[in-house]
């Protein structure tokens, strides 16, 4: 169907980058508070809704997604003293409810029901933490998908909230010191409250809050006025002896500072790992020495013991050596270490003694993703979760002494995932590199070159795309679709070398890997160009938009979601500066050159037939501000050289994705799948 797009006005805004003049006619759309931006959003949403409302299977898909999502599911329980805490969603609740019970056989009670925080479920629970003896329970909430959070404190015995409320915090945990108070990371109050969802965030600080006192009395523990663009995460070791700061200049590279809270001198911090050339994390304190996971001299990571009195790397003691598979994380519990590795993008877990001797390889149901391998030092068991593309998240109980797992809780599905299967294939990248890809579809589906395919990937920030179940994909699989996930370079599936192969001036490698995945699927007769859709979010939105601008002939449908699409200005908003270590910055002459070559906004060409495109974003996305999507949509609508639609779906009271209520997730995915079905010429069957 033909689409009449709203008029997007153009201005004569230009910028001079190192002698190169770049036009930015839609700069005005960066002002999310302006009346003309608001009118543009309203007009675009009206066009998009008008198009989607006429799609024949939209309501049918929405009904099916609602049924598929309507099943009870629980998280893995966490034990704190005599208390057991877990979250549960009965099916269509907008937010999972947090439950607590006394002992494993106790009667569950609702501790926090986020669904009572708002009428539409757009306020989500974030960080949670009990104080040492479970006297207090602290939690943070975020509204409308924003990264901004507020922290509250509850008297656990009475279940009454205390008077204090801590505001203007983001990217923080809650680390209790006894029952008296806790540490957290926060920002100063924004100078312009109205612009807090787009203005640059600077000078993150660490505070200590004492229970019963107002936020203005919180004690400043750490600040760095010389370096405004750094993240500072704070935590305590389990025994509360060491206060640990993980400091980062962006999304890659870590400096670690510690303070021994038993020492007489409490005036400063000791630098345990200096600089930002490596990634490291403190695992635990063992007899006054700190166990650290690091990739210093070990791109697939290792575990070392570091003495704060002699922190130089020449003094490190290797506890778990680097292995062939990348070490993703290390948990502690019951006096043991639990190392989670990736074997071709699937989880493997080994239990070690504290001195690094291997004891058990934990048996998992199959290739997939397992998480939750940790507990307190005095426990002899814990619960973990396993999932895969056709295996809904299931909770197991693990006995530390025997190394055995037993089933604890299965989700109450209303459909049979056994009708589908996942295979893993390996395809050659442009340079011949072997790249893994998971393909999920109906059992026995024929490779006839005619199957609808949704190709999904991310390829950045050391993020691993491992197998996980999503009920919203079932509607596509039921109707003959193949859901394909490619593990591109830029992720961490094979360690830091794999990550670095797709960052900075090597970012084009990621796009080449994605294009190679599409070409493989066509060559091997899984599909053809007219049946191929691509989808990705955030950095994956950049991936989709870059590939559709580079190879518009290869794809029929493109779904760039909350994408980083203006690579010349991304670092000027909220926490975009933190991605410079991954992408580079247009402020640098050399980096500007390669950013300009692939920046989706700047590589659209008039008269080119681009794929049918549905761009999605949200008004409260303060991670990747919606201006990226606004400007890209306006530019793409202007240059589109054929009748394939170019639409933008702008959600209200929603953000980058975290904490999105079930109802909004169903609405969004119903629209995405309806758009895909219509433009891949699919027919939705009755299910």
227 has catalytic annotation: no
d(C-alpha 524, C-alpha 381), whole Å: 46
Residues forming beta bridges with residue 421, ordered by sequence position: 441
DSSP state of 583: H
Report CA 572 to chain centroid distance, whole Å: 21
Counted residue by residue, the chain has a size of 687
Residue 31: C-alpha distances to residues 2, 24, 625, 626 (Å): 30, 14, 10, 10
User: Residues near 377 by Cβ (< 8 Å), separated by ≥ 6?
Assistant: 238, 239, 332, 333, 334, 335
Name the residue among 616, 613, 645, 648 with its Cα closest to residue 634.
Answer: 648
User: Residues near 600 by Cβ (< 8 Å), separated by ≥ 6?
Assistant: 542, 545, 546, 548, 549, 560, 563, 565, 566, 567, 632
Token pair 């013991």: residue: 305
Name the residue among 359, 289, 284, 283 with its Cα closest to residue 327.
Answer: 283
d(C-alpha 389, C-alpha 366), whole Å: 11
Work out the end-to-end distance of the chain between its first and last CA atoms, rounded to an integer number of angstroms: 27
Residue 58: C-alpha distances to residues 327, 674, 678, 682 (Å): 43, 5, 9, 12
User: Residues near 605 by Cβ (< 8 Å), separated by ≥ 6?
Assistant: 549, 639
538 has catalytic annotation: yes
User: How is residue 481 written in tokens?
Assistant: 């679709």
Q: Are 656 and 447 in contact (CB under 8 A)?
A: no
d(C-alpha 291, C-alpha 109), whole Å: 37
Strand 482-486 relative to strand 255-260: parallel, antiparallel, unpaired? unpaired
Query: Which of 175, 538, 586, 629 is an active site residue?
Result: 538
User: How is residue 242 written in tokens?
Assistant: 């060491």
Strand 109-112 relative to strand 123-130: parallel, antiparallel, unpaired? unpaired
Name the residue among 613, 672, 603, 657 with its Cα closest to residue 637.
Answer: 613
What is the dihedral sign for C-alpha 604, 606, 609, 613? Answer: positive
627: enclosing H helix or E strand = helix 627-639
User: Residues near 543 by Cβ (< 8 Å), separated by ≥ 6?
Assistant: 457, 458, 459, 460, 488, 510, 511, 514, 536
677: enclosing H helix or E strand = helix 662-679
Residue 155: C-alpha distances to residues 137, 158, 165, 210, 211 (Å): 7, 6, 14, 14, 10
Q: 427-465 as b/e, with b when 16 or more CB fall inside 10 Å?
A: bebeeebebbbbbbbbeebeeeeebbbbbbbbbbbbbbb
**Active site amino acids:** 538, 656
């Amino acid at each position: 169907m033909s689409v009449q797009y709203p008029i997007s006005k153009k201005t004569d805004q230009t910028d001079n980058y190192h002698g190169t003049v770049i036009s930015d006619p839609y700069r005005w759309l960066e002002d999310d508070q302006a009346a003309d931006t608001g009118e543009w959003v309203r007009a675009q949403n009206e066009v998009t809704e008008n198009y989607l409302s006429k799609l024949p299977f939209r309501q049918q898909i929405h009904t099916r997604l609602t049924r598929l999502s309507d099943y009870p599911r629980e998280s893995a329980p966490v034990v704190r003293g005599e208390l057991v805490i877990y979250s549960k969603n009965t099916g269509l609740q907008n937010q999972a409810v947090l439950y607590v019970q006394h002992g494993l056989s106790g009667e569950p009670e609702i501790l926090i029901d986020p669904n009572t925080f708002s009428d539409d479920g757009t306020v989500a629970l974030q960080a949670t933490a009990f104080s040492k003896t479970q006297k207090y329970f602290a939690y943070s909430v975020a509204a409308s998908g924003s990264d901004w959070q507020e922290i509250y404190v509850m008297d656990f015995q009475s279940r009454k909230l205390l008077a204090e409320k801590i505001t203007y915090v983001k990217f923080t945990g809650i680390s209790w010191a006894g029952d008296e108070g806790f540490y957290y990371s926060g920002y100063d109050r924004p100078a312009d409250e109205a612009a807090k969802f787009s203005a640059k965030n600077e000078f993150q600080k660490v505070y200590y809050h004492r229970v019963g006192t107002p936020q203005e009395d919180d004690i400043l523990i750490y600040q760095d006025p010389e370096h405004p663009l750094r993240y500072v995460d704070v935590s305590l070791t389990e025994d509360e002896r060491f206060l640990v700061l993980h400091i980062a200049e962006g999304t890659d590279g870590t400096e670690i500072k510690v303070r021994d809270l038993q020492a007489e001198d409490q005036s400063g911090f000791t630098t345990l790992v200096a600089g930002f050339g490596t990634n490291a994390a403190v695992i635990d304190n063992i007899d006054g020495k700190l166990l650290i996971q690091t990739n210093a001299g070990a791109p697939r990571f290792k575990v070392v013991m570091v003495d704060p009195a002699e922190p130089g790397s020449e003094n490190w003691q290797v506890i778990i050596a680097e292995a062939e598979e990348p070490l993703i994380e290390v948990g502690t519990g019951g006096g043991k270490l639990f190392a989670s590795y990736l074997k071709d993008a699937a989880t493997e877990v080994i239990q070690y003694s504290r001195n690094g001797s291997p004891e058990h390889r934990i048996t998992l149901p199959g290739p997939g993703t397992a998480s939750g391998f940790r507990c307190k030092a005095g426990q002899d068991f814990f619960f973990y979760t396993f999932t895969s593309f056709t295996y809904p998240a299931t909770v197991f109980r693990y006995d530390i002494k025997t190394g055995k797992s037993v089933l604890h809780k299965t989700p109450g599905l209303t459909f049979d995932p056994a009708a589908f299967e996942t295979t893993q294939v390996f395809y050659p990248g442009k340079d011949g590199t072997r790249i893994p890809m998971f393909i999920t579809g109906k059992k026995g589906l024929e490779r006839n070159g005619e199957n609808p395919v949704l190709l999904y990937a991310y390829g950045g920030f050391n993020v691993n795309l491992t197998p996980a179940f999503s009920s919203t994909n079932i509607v596509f699989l039921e109707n003959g679709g193949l859901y394909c996930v490619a593990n591109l370079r830029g992720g961490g599936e094979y360690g830091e070398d794999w990550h670095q192969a797709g960052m900075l001036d090597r970012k084009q490698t990621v796009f080449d890997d994605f294009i190679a995945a599409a070409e493989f699927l066509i060559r091997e007769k899984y599909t053809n160009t007219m049946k191929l859709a691509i989808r990705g979010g955030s950095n994956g939105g950049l991936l989709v938009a870059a590939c559709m601008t580079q190879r518009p002939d290869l794809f029929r449908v493109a779904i760039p979601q909350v994408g980083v699409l203006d690579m010349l200005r991304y670092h000027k908003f909220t926490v975009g500066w933190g991605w410079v270590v991954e992408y580079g910055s247009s402020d640098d002459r050399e980096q500007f050159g390669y950013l300009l070559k692939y920046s989706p906004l700047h590589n659209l060409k008039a008269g080119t037939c681009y794929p049918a495109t549905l761009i999605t974003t949200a008004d409260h996305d303060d991670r990747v501000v919606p201006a990226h999507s606004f400007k890209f949509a306006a530019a793409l609508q202007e240059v589109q050289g054929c009748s394939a639609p170019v639409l933008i779906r702008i959600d209200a009271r929603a953000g980058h994705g975290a904490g999105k209520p079930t109802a909004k997730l169903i609405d969004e995915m119903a629209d995405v799948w309806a758009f895909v079905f219509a433009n891949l010429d699919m027919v939705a069957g009755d299910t």
